[in-house]
Amino acid sequence: MDGNGRWARERGLPRIEGHRRGAEAVRACTAGCLEAGVKHLTLYAFSKENWQRPPDEVKSLMSLLDRFLAERIAEIMERNIRLRAIGHLQDLPEKTRRRLDEGIARSAHNTALNLTLALSYGARTEIVDATRAIARAVQAGTLAPDAINEETVTNALYTAGTPDPDLLIRTSGEMRISNFLLWQLSYTEIVVTPKLWPEFSKEDFFAAVREYAQRNRRFGGV
């Protein structure tokens, strides 16, 4: 979800205003998923690298996340959305983590859409954590090295139990993956839009889905 800061800068506004507007785009995207029958949506909300931003901006982003969780939980429940999260969630402020845990618990039995927030997330870190978990299993004698396969790795990732993405939408015209779901995106179709995230609408989401539907997915075959 890229382009919040650029959107604000182009309008002479503080960066946090771009992030606030970006939070509104989340509603449009989830609405599009519900209408299209999409069952899984993962939003790259805050990366491990984002902690390196100025402290005031990080504090504002955490406050915005906390407010988003507080204000949207009723809508999440009304729309039958299941909230989930991946990443080093222990890095989040205690108040925000508690709010997130409450939302996850309240929505655990919802079935219309699985909405996963990637928070303090980095794909390389995820793969390192998965490797450590597998190594511990080998060390404990519960897993033989020769038995390790792709399924073993998949099941050790934060996203275990969630299907690999069919479609990655990258906003603001950026032509890179940016350390997002590196293992899971192996055969994912990518749609890049020049729209900045705060401008991303439900119609833009449907346009990306239509483009995806025209792709011929061969998964390495003929």
Among residues 196, 183, 189, the alpha carbon closest in space to that of 86 is found at: 183
Q: Cβ atoms within 10 A of the Cβ of 32, count?
A: 21
Active-site residue identified among 2, 4, 114, 204: 2
Going from the C-alpha of 80 to that of each of 31, 69, 141, 184, 209, the distances in angstroms are 12, 15, 42, 26, 22
Question: How far, rounded to the nearest angstrom, does the alpha carbon of residue 63 sit from its chain's CA centroid?
Answer: 18
Query: Residue 51's Cα: distance from chain center in Å?
Result: 16
Is there a catalytic annotation at residue 50? yes
Please tell me the chain's helix, strand, coil percentages from 3-state DSSP, rounded to the nearest 5.
Answer: 55, 15, 35
Is 2 annotated in the active site?
yes
Catalytic residue, chosen from 50, 91, 110, 179, is 50
In the chain, what is the straight-line distance between the N-terminal and C-terminal CA atoms, in Å?
Answer: 33
Catalytic residues: 2, 50
